[in-house]
Every structure is written in structure tokens, then in C-alpha cells.
């Protein structure tokens, strides 16, 4: 066998695992890998990013879109710590990802060498940590073993991130090792006895409700979930920021169970006598601070289906816990024999009626009608368009008013951080454009955009076209909202002095426009769809329009009311 340097072998191992794109910022500690990428640029494309946080977000978005680990490459120390936000996002969002960190040479280790970090301590696996596994490759001959294990760990059980540390001197050694075969995720099937119990629980129920979401969903799993819901006439809500798991146009859809929750949907979840949670962790956002389902023992009967045995009964004591991957679980459920009629038919119809009613906008001040703008997006974006966003009140407009066909039609269409990390939407959108070629719409806030807006340079360099709708209200809106609720008229640190975002976008090679009235938006959107380059549409939003339901002043006045 012909020997080669280890950095080239590493690239061959990534290709063997089906990697087509790697996102990163180059560093001197992994030059041998960069040389390997140069040699195999026919098979794998290195996307040069402007900051490691943006690169890690792109890799995480790639993992969400493909179901296989997104790959991020960074240098030691500051490169790795910058990338940690994307690793944490992958962990909490249950997204498969592999972070490759170029490290100090072995003969410099443990001397506080230049930019040295203890990655096991920093990323170390735990129920509250960053990564599922952190490993250092000291033997070049074992690179294939470590890479294959990283991909298996990232995909199996609850999907998540794995960190591989690559000493600089190891990467330059000669090795005759060969890549291992492509690793596929293992399917865990539902226990037949548990399925019989679930059927009995359904037959005894009067007000069942399904919450679907989490990582590991495929179009086939989403389609099987829809058939299960149709067979049993079950109302289905999607977990926080997994709104593409179940078709939002379906007559059994009840809405998204997340931030800014429809009050009627919240009441319905509480009133249910049986919750079937398929895939989600049932975290703080989906449970409204653990109040919709009380922890640790919900008042509703709970069936929790999850791909990780460690996740089951960790927060909530389920009446029935089923360890199964989403593909296997949904396919098992779709063949569960349903009765001719069910007791909750009207309950399901009412759930969908409440969702439809929630699409009616609240009357809010200003010259920008955000529901109308989202309506234009709904009208003109193709059904397979990818919508991305970071964290902030601005995201609630698409969460409430945009309807996803989603995975059931064959495509993942929502990329959003359940971890609640700002700055995600712009790089995630760029990754989606690069890897899918589909239309990408990013909803951003003014504070959110400036956390990774520099990645527009990455988009221009690599030919990625995205459309960014940037809502500019001159503040960190979510924080200001909380300030007015808790400390009315005492705002601090939440005001922003912003640049001319349209001009900034043009400097990066995007088209940049600004609108101040609703009527101006549709024409700019249509123009953006036809351009070869990306477009940023800056929307000047009245600071009073702080949520989809109320104003900043109303929140302040309510907070100033005497407490009983």
C-alpha cells in the first residue's frame, strides 16, 4: 500500500464517509489537512468562512439538512473556542456534527504552548456539555478508526457533535492506513409490547395530543407520522423550531409548541389526557418552562418516544417510554391498527381551528405590517424554500404566520436554533444555499445580523445566494421586552446604534435595499428572487412592535400596574 501523509488520509476518510463540504477557517496547525483538501478538491469542497462561529453554524445547518454530520475545521485555541457556539447548538438541537481542531504539536503539549487548550475539559461530554465525544488522535495509523467512530457517535442514539483533536505533528507523519467504509446510523425499533400498550392507552383516551420534533427525522419518517395521525385522527403540534416535522397545511395540524405559544394551544396541551411526544427532548421552550407538562410527573399521561435511552425518564417520568429512532418509530406507529371511530374527532378539529384562528393578525402600530410581509413570503417562495433565523423576537413573525410543507414533501425547510443562539440565521442560510441550491430566506434582527453578518463575504466568495429580511428596530428587542416586563422604564444596554445595513450588504457583494412601508416589500422580494446575487432587504420596524401580539408600551403599562 502506498503511504501518504496523515493530513491527506484524514481527507480521504472524510470522503469515504460521504462528506462533500467542509466549513472552516484555515489555520497553521492543520496545514497538512488543507493540503489534502487541495489534492481532493474534486470530491470535497472547503468553504472558507470569516469566523469560526459562523463556520460551526454552517456545519450544524448542513447536519440538519442532510442527516449526516456537518464538518467544521478550525485551528487550536481561539479557533476552537470561537466554534464552541456551533457545537453547543448542535448538542442542544440534536444535530450530527464533527468538529476537527488542529492542535499544538505533541512535543509542546502540557506546557501552555501557544493557544493550547484542554479540549476534553472544554468540550467534555456530559448531560450539560458541548459534545458527545472528545478524542485526540495521536497515532496517524488510527485516523480511520477515529473518524468512523466520530461519525457513528454523531449519528447514533440522540444525534449530536463530536470533537476530534489533531496534533500538528501527527498530521505530517507518513501512514499506509486506508479509510474505513461509510458508517450508517443504526435503527432502534419500537418494542412490540410497548406498541400494544400505546394502542391501549389511545383507546382509553378522550383528548390525546401528539408533539413531534427533535433530531433524526427524514422525509420518510415524516410521511409515516402523517399516516399515523390520519389513521387515528390525532391533532399534531410541532416542537419548538421543528415546524417542518408535520405539514402545517394539514387539517390535523395544531400549531408549534414553542415560544410565543398560541394561548389556546397551551390550554389544549394542558387539558390533554394523553401526550405522545415523538422525538423531542421536551425541553424548556417546548414545555413553556416545564409548565405545560409539569416536571417530573405530568398530570397528563405521557408516552415519550426518543432515539436515546439516556434521554427517556431524564426530566419527565413517562407512563410509557419507547427507545426508537424516528424512522423506526414512525413506521411502527403508522401500522398501529386504528378503530373505525375515535372519541376525540371534534377535539382534533378544534385544535386545527384554533391554529387557523391564530393566523389572524393582531392590530399593531407603524407603517410595516409584518403579517402581510410574511404573507408575501408565503405567496412567492417555492414550497421547498429553506427558511433560517437566529434568536430574537423578530423570528416569531415567521414562526407564527409562515406555514411549512416541510419534510412530508421531501425537504427540510426550517433551520433555526432551539438552543436560542443569536447569529445563526445568516451562516445557516449560506450553508443551505451552498449545499442544496434551493431558494433560501433568512429572517434576521439588527442585533442578530451583526453577530455573523461578515459571512456575507463567504457567500459572495462561494457563489451562495440568500435573501435576508432584516428587521431593524434599533434594539435587542427580546431583552428590551424582558426589561420592560421586569424593570419598566429602566432599560439598560439594549439600545443599538446601527450601520446602514443596505450599504453594508452592497459592500459585501449583495444587493441592499431599505423599505419603510409594507407596500414596498413585495416588489423588492420579487426582484431578489430574480437576481443572480443575494439580497438584503432592510425593514425599518417601529420599536413599539415588540411581539406579534402586543406593543412595548403595553408591556410597560402592565408592569407598572399595582401588584395585588
Residue 128: pLDDT band (50, 70, 90) is low
Per-residue pLDDT averaged across 134-146, rounded? 97
pLDDT of residue 547 exceeding 70: yes
By the 10 Å C-beta count (0-12 exposed, 13-18 middle, 19+ buried), 95 is classed as buried
Q: Is 250 helix (H, G, I), strand (E, B) or coil?
A: coil
Average pLDDT, the chain: 96
| Residue predicted with more confidence, 491 or 95 | 95
Residue 216 DSSP code: -
Quote the pLDDT of residue 129. Answer: 66
pLDDT band for 98, please (50, 70, 90 cuts).
Answer: very high
Answer yes or no: same fold for 4-175 and 370-560. Answer: yes
CA 196 to chain CA centroid, Å, is 33
Over residues 239-274, the pLDDT tens digits come to 999 999 999 999 999 999 998 899 999 999 999 999
The pLDDT value given to residue 18: 98
For residue 206, report the phi and psi dihedrals to the nearest 5 degrees: -120, -25
Any residues with CB less than 8 A from the CB of 370 and at least 6 apart, and which?
Answer: 361, 364, 397, 401, 471, 541, 545, 548
| Residue 203 pLDDT class (50, 70, 90 cuts) | very high
CA distance 336 to 195: 8
What pLDDT is stored for residue 550 in this prediction? 95
pLDDT at 126 exceeding the cut of 90 = no
The rounded distance, in Å, linking the Cα atoms of 459 and 457 is 5
Considering the chain, what percentage of its residues have pLDDT values greater than 70? 99
User: Who's near 405: CB < 8 A, 6+ residues apart?
Assistant: 244, 247, 248, 249, 383, 384, 413
Helix (H, G, I), strand (E, B) or coil at 211: strand
pLDDT at residue 449 greater than cutoff 80: yes
CA distance 373 to 247: 21
pLDDT band at 130 (very low <50, low <70, confident <90, very high): confident
Question: What is the average pLDDT across 474-486?
Answer: 94
CATH fold, domain 192-358, is Rossmann fold (3.40.50)
Predicted confidence band of residue 312 (pLDDT cuts 50, 70, 90) = very high
How do residues 356-401 score in pLDDT, each as one tens digit?
A: 999 999 999 999 999 999 999 999 999 999 999 999 999 999 999 9
- With a CB cutoff of 8 Å and minimum separation 6, the contacts of 523 are none
Query: What is the C-alpha separation between 558 and 363, in angstroms, rounded?
Result: 18
Local confidence band at 154 (pLDDT 50, 70, 90 cut-offs): very high
Q: Find out if CATH 1.10.580.10 is the number for domain 370-560.
A: no
Q: Is the CB of residue 213 less than 8 Å from the CB of residue 94? A: no
Tens of pLDDT, residue by residue over 14-56, are 999 999 999 999 999 999 999 999 999 999 999 999 999 999 9
Residue ranges of domains in the chain: 4-175, 192-358, 370-560
Say whether pLDDT at 127 is over 70: no
- pLDDT tens by residue, 336-362: 999 999 999 999 999 999 999 999 999
Q: Rounded CA gap, 394 and 402, in Å?
A: 13
Q: From residue 265, give the alpha-carbon distance in Å to each of 7, 103, 261, 373, 418.
A: 53, 49, 7, 24, 19
For domain 4-175, the question of CATH label 3.40.50.970 is answered with yes
Omega of the bond prior to 296 within 30 degrees of 0, cis? Answer: yes
Task: Work out the number of other CB atoms within 10 angstroms of the CB of residue 352.
Answer: 17
Task: Report the largest interatomic distance among the alpha carbons of the chain, rounded to a whole angstrom.
Answer: 81
Model pTM? 0.96
Amino acid at each position: 500500500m502506498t503511504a501518504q501523509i496523515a493530513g491527506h488520509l484524514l481527507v480521504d476518510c472524510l470522503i469515504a464517509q460521504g462528506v462533500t463540504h467542509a466549513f472552516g477557517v484555515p489555520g497553521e496547525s492543520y496545514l497538512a489537512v488543507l493540503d489534502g483538501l487541495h489534492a481532493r478538491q474534486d470530491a470535497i469542497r472547503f468553504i472558507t468562512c470569516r469566523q469560526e462561529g459562523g463556520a460551526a453554524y454552517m456545519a450544524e445547518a448542513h447536519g440538519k439538512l442532510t442527516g449526516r454530520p456537518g464538518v467544521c475545521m478550525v485551528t487550536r485555541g481561539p479557533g476552537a473556542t470561537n466554534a464552541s457556539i456551533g457545537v453547543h447548538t448542535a448538542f442542544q438541537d440534536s444535530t450530527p456534527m464533527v468538529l476537527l481542531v488542529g492542535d499544538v504539536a505533541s512535543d509542546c503539549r502540557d506546557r501552555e504552548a501557544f493557544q493550547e487548550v484542554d479540549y476534553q475539559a472544554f468540550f467534555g461530554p456530559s448531560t450539560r456539555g458541548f459534545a458527545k465525544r472528545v478524542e485526540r488522535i495521536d497515532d496517524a495509523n488510527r485516523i480511520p478508526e477515529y473518524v468512523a467512530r466520530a461519525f457513528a457517535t454523531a449519528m447514533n442514539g440522540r444525534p449530536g457533535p463530536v470533537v476530534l483533536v489533531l496534533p500538528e505533528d501527527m498530521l505530517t507523519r507518513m501512514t499506509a492506513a486506508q479509510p474505513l467504509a461509510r458508517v450508517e446510523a443504526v435503527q432502534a425499533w419500537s418494542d412490540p409490547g410497548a406498541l400494544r400498550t400505546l394502542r391501549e392507552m389511545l383507546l382509553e383516551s378522550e383528548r390525546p395530543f401528539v408533539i413531534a420534533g427533535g433530531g433524526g427525522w427524514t422525509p420518510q419518517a415524516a410521511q409515516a407520522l402523517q399516516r399515523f395521525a390520519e389513521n387515528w385522527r390525532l391533532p399534531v403540534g410541532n416542537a419548538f423550531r421543528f415546524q417542518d416535522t408535520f405539514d402545517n397545511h394539514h387539517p390535523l395540524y395544531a400549531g408549534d409548541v414553542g415560544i410565543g405559544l398560541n394561548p389556546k394551544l397551551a390550554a389544549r396541551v394542558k387539558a390533554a389526557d394523553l401526550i405522545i411526544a415523538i422525538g423531542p427532548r421536551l425541553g424548556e421552550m417546548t414545555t413553556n418552562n416545564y409548565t405545560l407538562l409539569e416536571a417530573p410527573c405530568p398530570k397528563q399521561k405521557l408516552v415519550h418516544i426518543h432515539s436515546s435511552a439516556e434521554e427517556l425518564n431524564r426530566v419527565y417520568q413517562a407512563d410509557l417510554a419507547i427507545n426508537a429512532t424516528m424512522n423506526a418509530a414512525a413506521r411502527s406507529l403508522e401500522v398501529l391498527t386504528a378503530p373505525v371511530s375515535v372519541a376525540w374527532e371534534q377535539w382534533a378539529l378544534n385544535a386545527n381551528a384554533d391554529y387557523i384562528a391564530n393566523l389572524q393578525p393582531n392590530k399593531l402600530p407603524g407603517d410595516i405590517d409584518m403579517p402581510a410581509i410574511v404573507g408575501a413570503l408565503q405567496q412567492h417562495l417555492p414550497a421547498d424554500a429553506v427558511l433560517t433565523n437566529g434568536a430574537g423576537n423578530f423570528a416569531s413573525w415567521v414562526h407564527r404566520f409562515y406555514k411549512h410543507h416541510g419534510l412530508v414533501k421531501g425537504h427540510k425547510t426550517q433551520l433555526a436554533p432551539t438552543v436560542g443562539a443569536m447569529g445563526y440565521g445568516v451562516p445557516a442560510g449560506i450553508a443551505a444555499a451552498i449545499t442544496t441550491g434551493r431558494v433560501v430566506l433568512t429572517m434576521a434582527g439588527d442585533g442578530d445580523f451583526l453577530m455573523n453578518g461578515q459571512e456575507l463575504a463567504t457567500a459572495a466568495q462561494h457563489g451562495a445566494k440568500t435573501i435576508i429580511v432584516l428587521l431593524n428596530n434599533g434594539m435587542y428587542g427580546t431583552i428590551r421586552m424582558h426589561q420592560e416586563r421586569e424593570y419598566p422604564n429602566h432599560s439598560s444596554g439594549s439600545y443599538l446604534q446601527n450601520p446602514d445595513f443596505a450599504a453594508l450588504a452592497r459592500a459585501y457583494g449583495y444587493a441592499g435595499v431599505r423599505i419603510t412601508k409594507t407596500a414596498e416589500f413585495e416588489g423588492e422580494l420579487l426582484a431578489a428572487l430574480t437576481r443572480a446575487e443575494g439580497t438584503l432587504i432592510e425593514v425599518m420596524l417601529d420599536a413599539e412592535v415588540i411581539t406579534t401580539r402586543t406593543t412595548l408600551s403595553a408591556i410597560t403599562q402592565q408592569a407598572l400596574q399595582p401588584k395585588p
